[in-house]
Amino acid sequence: MAVRVTNDAIQILGGYGYTREYPVERWHRDAKIHTIFEGTSEIQQLVIARAISGMRVE
C-alpha cells in the first residue's frame, strides 16, 4: 500500500517527485526497501494465511 501511495504521489509531482528536495522520494525509497526486506507481497499473503489458518510448515 505504501509503495502504491508514494508512487501516485511521485506521478502527481512529476520529475520533482524523484528529487531529494521532496520527502516523497525518501518515502518511496523506504517503502520499496521495506518490501524487499520483508519479502514480496505474495509471500506476505502466504505467511498471513498460514498464521490465520493455524497451518504449520516445518
Residues belonging to the active site: 38
As given in the structure block, the three cell numbers for residue 21 are 528536495
Q: Kindly give the interhelix angle for 2-13 and 23-38, rounded to the nearest 10 degrees.
A: 150
- Residue 6 three-state SS: helix
